[in-house]
Structure 1
Amino acid sequence: MRWPLLALALMIAACTHVPSSRHLAVSNLQSLPEPKLHYLGVGGWLIHWRGEGVLLAPSFSNPGGLGIRGLPPLRVKANPQRIDTFMPPASDVKMLLVGHAHYDHLLDVPRVMHIHTPKATVYGSQTVGHILHAGNIDARRIRALGEGDIANPYLPTARGTWFYSNGQSARDGTQPQGKTPGMIRAMALRSEHAGHAFGINFIQGQYDDDLDTLPQGLFGWRLGEVTLAWLIDLLDENGKPVYRIHYQDSAASPPLGFPPLITDGKRIDVEILCAASWDQVHNYPAALLRVTRPRTLVLGHWENFFASDPRKPARTIPLQDYQGLLNQLSHYTPVIPEPFSLVPLPPPE
């Protein structure tokens, strides 16, 4: 049985392609002025804004099974050299947002927090917090969110909670108390993680207690009790949003991942979609885009990250139907960035 499974795995691994052969027009912009998005690959993004920064799920180690491109690993371990080589300057980052606890979103976070983002607080699920405890992260820098902290898409008129870059929080429509809350805020939105294949998520589960050591196996990086999408506001000096960004951490069936009604009525400027496993859920991303109606649409998590070489152009995820995804985006011209390239934000409205 082992040899047929190995043959199948190698066949899947061979199904990565150059993006152009999958009808993906990939951009690779460099040296853009602020404001901009910096794509770090996989689910990772970095945004600098008025002296502060927000970071999403940095992932650089990218292990692969037997070192074979496109083949998922069974054992995973952070690669400090890769992290330090490819992590851009981020000492201004105040908020590090994590949508779920799989290794491709969380494995590199301890090193990033220790070395590259000394001012950052990480926001994520309870399981994210339990895993990061094993990474020797100061508990004061971990904000593990409970049920009451997360906006429920099945109650769209209920007010969500904004978390501000200075550590304060407040219900939407109210102002945080005390000193200036910062230039960035984020709202956690209940979402889901699409299946890996045949609609099945092969790495589920959660942790209910702090871990003493980081997981070494693929299946030890459990999904967590909740997957989060994020609404991110970049604020002016009066606390009003200049840009509103919706970040879909994983493909999800509607209405999961949808933002609630926001009292200020500002529209969403940028939608960052997760391309991976888009066809493992129903009506994604078409239903989401009918709600968010962004001015700019960006695709992330589109590229193969199993044993990928960040120094070489990215290739596609094995067996992904990119043409079907693009057909759902017919009203948009999506930006599909090469890892480590830049995406300009649209002019403020």
Structure 2
Amino acid sequence: MPRALMLCLLLLSGCVHDPKDLGLEISDQHNLAEPKIQFLGVGGWLLHWQGEGLLLAPSFSNPAFLGIKGIPPLRVAADDERIDRYMPPADDVSMLLVGHAHYDHLLDVPRVVSQHAPNATVYGSETVAHILRGAEPPITRVVVPRDEQITSVGKPQLPGTWFYSSGKHIRAMPIESMHAGHIFGINLLPGSYDHDLSELPSYVGNWKLGKHTLAWLIDLLDANGNPVYRIHYQDSAAQPPYGFPPLLSDGKGIDVEILCAGSWDQVSHYPSGLLNVTKPRLVIVGHWENFFGNDPLQPQTIPGQSPVGMLDAITKSAPQARVVVPAPLSEVALPAPQ
């Protein structure tokens, strides 16, 4: 299996490109006024609201095979120095949402929780919980939504359960999603765990996807518990209707759509199918940059992939939306409430 995986990883390897060479406009704003959201790189995001913080799958280590930029690794380990260098203050974070258990979404979570977001509860699949219990020290403050608490694919009339932050200013609902293939439509890191691990995996293939891949519907609430902002977050490209939000009776629309550019072309009608449903005012594209031995301050595109075609699909499907491709560690202003 390692040899077969290595062959596929080498096929995934390729030239990385500077965004300007592709005509890709990258936003790189900092020190914006609230409300805003910060792109941490890969699938990671951080926002603060009414004294509470929300964190989405932070990833900073970004290892590469033999340290060679642009080549996926076979062995992975968290880079504590790199995490500590780039992770912003997150003492106020009470919710940390994870969509799936691949290393580029989960590897750095133990260090982030233990050192930077000590008040955070992690929300994710059974496999997410089983892997995190192999950390040292184990991460045990993990909530695993039950099947009946997850919005099922194809059943938008049956919403899942809202999970609330400790201060009740933020809530999140899990949605059944899926993970696009890495190459030729094949997911190279499938599988799940049904038992706690004794240590974190080092072989990349043991960072298994998990039984459930989750998208998240996120509400930022006012003092009366009403949504001021509604955000839809999908940390992996998915075949429609996977990841579609439920129909809610409050009539609140989607303000912000956070999309994943990685493997966007491995499924059909993505992201157009999703955008035709969510009709957001702001679209933010993440997971667009090389995360194999990268420099987040000089981002380049994922090897062998380009988000340009995806951006064309976004502008056609959501002409009403402002579209932003942020640089890692930069900020994006949220639209005015409505």
TM-score (norm 1): 0.91
Q: Name the CA shift for 1:225/1:347 in 2 (closer, same or farther; >3 Å).
A: same
> Which 5+ residue runs of structure 1 have no aligned equivalent?
167-180
Give 1:318 shift.
1.2
Aligned counterpart for 1:227 among listed residues 196, 213, 220: 213
Whole-angstrom distance in 2 between the partners of 1:318 and 1:265: 41
SS in 1 for 2:314: coil
Aligned residue for 1:175?
none
Q: Is the counterpart of residue 255 in structure 1 residue 256 in structure 2?
A: no
4+ residue runs over 4 A deviation: 5-14
CA contact (8 A) 1:13 1:68 kept: no
| Alignment: residue pair count | 331
Partner of 1:265: 251
Matched-pair contact (CA < 8 Å) for 2:281–2:322? no
How far apart are the structure 2 equivalents of 1:198 and 1:54?
Answer: 34
CA distance in 2, matches of 1:281, 1:215: 28
Q: Shift in Å at residue 10 of structure 1?
A: 7.0
* TM-superposed deviation, 1:138: 4.7
Question: Which residue does the alignment assign to 2:330?
Answer: 341
Partner Cα separation in structure 1 for residue 178 and residue 186 of structure 2? 12
For residues 77 and 147 of structure 1, what CA distance do their matches in structure 2 show?
31
Aligned to 1:171: none
The corresponding residue for 1:106 is 106
CA distance in 2, matches of 1:23, 1:275: 16
Question: How far has the Cα of 1:159 moved from its partner?
Answer: 2.5
1:317 has 2:295 as partner: no
Q: Give the direction of change, closer, same or farther, for the CA distance of 1:201–1:11 in structure 2 (3 Å limit).
A: closer
1:101-141 Cα offsets, whole Å, 9 max, x none, are: 000000000011111111110000000000011113353x1
Which residue is 1:144 aligned to? 144
1:294 aligned to which of 280, 288, 296: 280
Contact 1:22 1:322 (C-alpha < 8 Å) held by counterparts: no
Unpaired runs of 5+ in structure 2? none
| Change beyond 3 A, Cα 1:272–1:9 | closer
1:212 and 2:198 correspond: yes
1:184 aligns with 2:170: yes
Q: Which residue of 2 aligns with 1:49?
A: 49
Maintained 8 Å contact 1:16/1:317: yes
SS in 2 for 1:27: coil
* Contact 1:183–1:237 (8 Å) recurs in 2: yes
Distance 2:12 2:222 in 1: 48
Letter in 1 for 2:21: S
Task: Report deviation, 1:145.
Answer: 2.1
CA positional deviation for 1:144: 1.6
Residue range with higher mean Cα deviation, 90-99 or 144-153: 144-153
Residues 154/6 of structure 1: CA separation in 2 closer, same or farther (3 Å cut): closer
Q: What is the SS of the residue equivalent to 1:94?
A: strand
CA distance in 1, matches of 2:77, 2:157: 42
Which residue identity does 1:247 align to in structure 2? Y
What is the CA deviation profile of residues 16-63 of structure 1, one whole-angstrom value per residue up to 9, with x for unaligned ones?
000122231001001101110100000000000010010000000010
TM-score, scaled to structure 2: 0.94
What one-letter code is carried by the residue in structure 1 that aligns with 2:191?
G
Residue 237, structure 1, aligned to residue 239, structure 2: no
The answer as to whether partners of 1:63 and 1:73 remain within 8 angstroms in 2 is yes
What is the RMSD computed on CA atoms of the aligned residues? 1.9
SS in 1 for 2:162: strand
SS for the counterpart of 2:251 is: coil
Matches within 5 A, 1:89-100: 89-100=89-100
Residue aligned with 1:26, SS: coil
Deviations 1:140-163 (A, max 9, x none): x11022211211131110132100
Task: Using the TM superposition, give the Cα deviation of residue 226 of structure 1 relative to its aligned residue in structure 2, in angstroms.
Answer: 1.1
Q: 1:266 to 1:333 in 2, by over 3 A?
A: closer
1:33 maps to 33
- AA of the residue aligned to 2:109: V
